A and B are shown apart, each in its own frame.
Chain A
Amino acid sequence: MVITLDKLSRLMVATGFVAIGFAASPGNAQDTIKIGAPLALTGGLADEGHKQVVVWDMWLAKVNGAGGINVGGKKMKVEIVKYDYQTNGTRAGQLAEKLVTDDKVNFVLAPFGSGHTKIVAAVAERYQVPLLACASSSESVFNQGLKYLFGTLSPNGGVTTAVVKYFKVQVPTLKRVAVLGRDDVFPKSMAQGISEAAKAQGLDVVYDQYYAVGTMDHSASVSAIKAARPDWIYVTGYTQDLILVRKQMADLGVKAPIVSMMTGPAYKEFTDGLGNLANGVTSSNWWHHATTYKGVGVWPSTQDFYKEFVAKNKHDPDYVHASCAAATVVLQDAIERAGTLDKAKVRDALAKTDITTFYGPVKFSPNGMNQERDLPIIQVQDKTIKVLNPPEIKSADFQVMK
């Protein structure tokens, strides 16, 4: 279906939705592969939503530049139909439904975050449309027995256990851990995960609390953490929360040998917003551009992706960029292997995926999540990101915070 400007303007008036990505709707639907993307382009997750757009547009330009995706010997151009769900979960579900039933997309790409992915996944499952999730790592999203959901991030569990192990080796006196998590799907799951992993490995969790979404001040938590005298402070949340917590830790004179924030340092804006205060903060991450993978897809190596991204955007990509770009590479690979746009067959091809991409190996577990692998632990040193672990891509030693 070609969306004309007239139709669109009527749609906008009638529903208040802002639809984009329509203008380049090329030709007959049968010659075009349509991929739907409900995105948070405004509202709380707008920044993350735009990251997805950036890499999907990069992928689209490359794929269509090469004539399209090879579907059973026929090259087909690709179109991504995007809608802004304004960081409103209910609307994400409604728009996913519209993409499937009205726009008749062949496949869907999930929005940022475990919470909204869960909502869109329910719609995709109902209509049996393959859904690629690139920014959802909470097992609670994948443990629902969904057959059409595939995620490129590895489970949170693997990340938390590895981090505790690593710091126990680095700081042998490590004993007391304080955990402060945002009461939201992904950050809460990470906080729970670290708390359980720390207890399982014999550490004392001396503070273990969540803060509500919309909290504008953390002085109560930070003061309580100070009184608990932890060796390791582990905080989860979105970038603006983490900047505020780190700032208030400095304001209230709170220090610890290890300060970890999920996933603050993975984002450039965290370091920009904190300046010197970012130094020493550690995090774990799903991807870092220092890795050197070679594989299938429009970007044959990590370096190819990195160079193209930096040339276009003038800053380094983070794991959201990489994982979301990888999701499109994986989808392309599955379509080409299936040789058809049949949703069930592409779904089966996705389930059998066992490839290496610029982002790393992708092989889905039976629940649809990418398998566990050794994920990078990073630290901000002198306002730049250094990789501490795994050893093969390590760029610096861990520095204890003073």
Chain B
Amino acid sequence: MQYLQVLANGIVLGALYACLAVGFSLVWGVLNVINMLHGSFIILGGYLTFFAWQNFGIHPLLALPFVAAILYGIGYVTQLLVINRVVSQPVLTTLTLTFGLDLILYNYMTVFYTATPRRVTLDLGHVELGGIFMPVDRLFGMVLALALTGMLYVLLRGSRIGRAIVAVRMDGAAAALMGIRINRIYAITFGIGALMAGAAGAIFSMVFPITSNLTGDFLGKAFVVCVIGGLGSVPGALVGGLALGIIESFAGQFFGPQHALTVGFLLMLVLLVVKPTGLTGIKGYE
């Protein structure tokens, strides 16, 4: 029975990991930009949700689409005005740029909101199935992760914008020759990445105490999930998140909580050596 609970813990935790990684994976895969802002975008989404709830009594699930839309706008503008200027440079240049932008955003959040941990104290409780406990807010996280992944998959395969994103990813120069406005597609993709961070932040405001201190932890997790699941692959973030969640959960059970994180990183190292494309092994969205 206890192992079933450990498995359930791992699955819901994994869903949260998938939630925070899916936008990061998209941006990395399509733009070849390692977006160091991603963790701060999640926290910003969390703060916006928290203050909407505290000041106006808006439920986080209601605030979610608005927060996601605001983050989309921020992401779109950031890419259009700033990152696009260096997007064709080597990956280290864009990494340094987003790192710098992250320092600015992170420190502004610390100054404006202070680092005090804040949480939306709406406890949605848990469901119990045959002695297995599943927290409802984490189940929402799971639904969101699945929905985001599904929507992104459909968007990329079925819409004009989606096909344009895939085309740009496959061959930017050829896509430009076909009349696709590359800079706009980049901005939309980055905006979608930020939108997903904002949506994740809205759910996380009920699960985690939101503080600007967590930005680095979230970014680190997104990184590991992408490497495990497979870079740039939409289902990869889901698979990677679930794999990491389940592994950490069982590692915490067998080796003690002290070593749970180590085991997750070991898995990443092993995969980098034996299967660098990650578990899903997909190289694109085609």
Q: Which A residues contact B (CB, under 8 angstroms)?
A: 42-44, 46-47, 50, 180, 183, 209-212, 214-221, 223-224, 227, 239-240, 243-244, 247-248, 250-253, 269, 272-277
Contact = CB atoms under 8 A, between A and B. Distances in A.
B89 interface: no
B121 A277 contact: yes
A47 B253 contact: no
B258 A209 contact: yes
Given A47-B117, A47-B211, A217-B13, 15 more contacts: A210-B258, A211-B258, A212-B257, A212-B258, A212-B262, A216-B214, A217-B248, A217-B249, A239-B117, A240-B208, A240-B211, A251-B135, A252-B5, A253-B126, A273-B209
A244 B208 contact: yes
Given A43-B213, A252-B135, A219 B119 contact: no
B6 interface: yes
B248 to A, nearest CB: 7
B2 interface: yes
B124 to A, nearest CB: 9
A250 B123 contact: yes
B13 A219 contact: yes
B114 A47 contact: yes
Contacts of B171: none
B73 interface: no
A247 to B, nearest CB: 7
Contacts of B253: 220, 223-224
B254 to A, nearest CB: 9
B96 interface: no
A321 to B, nearest CB: 14
Contacts of A215: 257, 260-261
A47 B126 CA distance: 31
Contact of A214 (B6, B114, B137, B217): B217
For the complex of A and B, the 10 pairs showing the least CB-CB separation, nearest first, are: A220-B252, A275-B121, A251-B135, A219-B9, A211-B257, A46-B115, A240-B117, A243-B209, A47-B115, A273-B119
B128 A47 contact: no
A187 B114 CA distance: 23
Interface string B32-71: 0000000000000000000000000000000000000000
A233 to B, nearest CB: 14
A219 to B, nearest CB: 4
Choose among A183, A209, A251 the residue with the greatest number of B CB atoms under 10 Å from its CB: A251
